[in-house]
Amino acid sequence: LNRLLLVFVAAAGASVLGLPRQDASRAAGPCLAPLQWEGRWVLYDHSTGRNSRAAVSYDGQNQRIRVLQQNKKHTPCQKFFEYIYLYQSMVMFQIDQKTKDCSKVALTEAWDPFDIPDNSTFEDQYFIGGPGDNVEVQEWSDRKPARQHETWVGVYTLKDCYPVQETYTRNSSVTTSTRFFNLQLGISDPNVFTPPSTCQSARPERMAESAC
């Protein structure tokens, strides 16, 4: 979604800070990330300098994602939306949280799951946090010998392969980084992927994210 975001979809080459493992050895291969989870993320876009906070429902099995932006009352002119990405249908619904106005827009990029591709390059293994309060993670990237820089870096927990952070560099000026937290396995309410009735008469273009 590229990682979505898509809509939004943070920090070039930024790795999650942690304590390096002194005995870290090259991983045998990428772990398998959960196919369905719910939680929250903060997506930072370097081109705009903005953080986007949201509740997220991720269904990799059916290639769909629901993003509910967190309403920050101290952000002047900001409009807040719910986004429903349905990649099997290649459409995205944008719903104004206040007015329930709806836009239906065709997706132009293929499904890109939150996982570690099989051909990824192992970068490091370390602990986030400190003694008695830490989580062990692995860092992977799409670095290749013929390429000067990575365009994707992913940090995933070692034990259960939950995403911790993903960073994308599109070019020298467009970088996005997404931090994940409070993840829970499964989808508590599958109906969050169903657009509301107002989307039956959805407009064909995206709505502006600012009211000013």
Domain boundaries, the chain: 36-199
The pLDDT of residue 79 = 87
Tokens of 136: 């062990």
pLDDT at 18 over 80: no
Beta-carbon neighbour count of residue 107 at 10 Å? 16
What is the greatest pairwise CA distance in the chain? 58
Residue 106's Cβ-count burial label (10 Å; 0-12, 13-18, 19+) is: exposed
25/27 Cα distance (integer angstroms): 6
Mean pLDDT, residues 175-181: 95
Q: What percent of the chain has pLDDT over 70?
A: 82
Per-residue pLDDT band for 148 (boundaries 50, 70, 90) equals: low
Q: What top-level class would CATH report for the domain 36-199?
A: mainly beta
Q: What is the pLDDT of residue 73?
A: 65
Q: Is 40 in a helix, a strand, or coil?
A: strand
Per DSSP, the three-state class of 201 is: helix
d(Cα 52, Cα 97) in Å, to the nearest integer?
15
Q: 65 near 59, Cβ under 8 Å?
A: yes
The chain-wide mean pLDDT, for the chain, equals 86
Give the integer Cα–Cα distance in Å for 68 and 148: 36
> Could you tell me the pTM of the whole model?
0.83
CA-based nearest residue to 3, from 78, 75, 54, 71: 54
Q: What is the DSSP letter of 35?
A: S
The amino acid at residue 176 is T
Q: Is the pLDDT of residue 1 over 70?
A: no
Q: Give me the residue label for tokens 């994308």.
A: 168
- Cα separation, 44 vs 54, in Å, equals 12
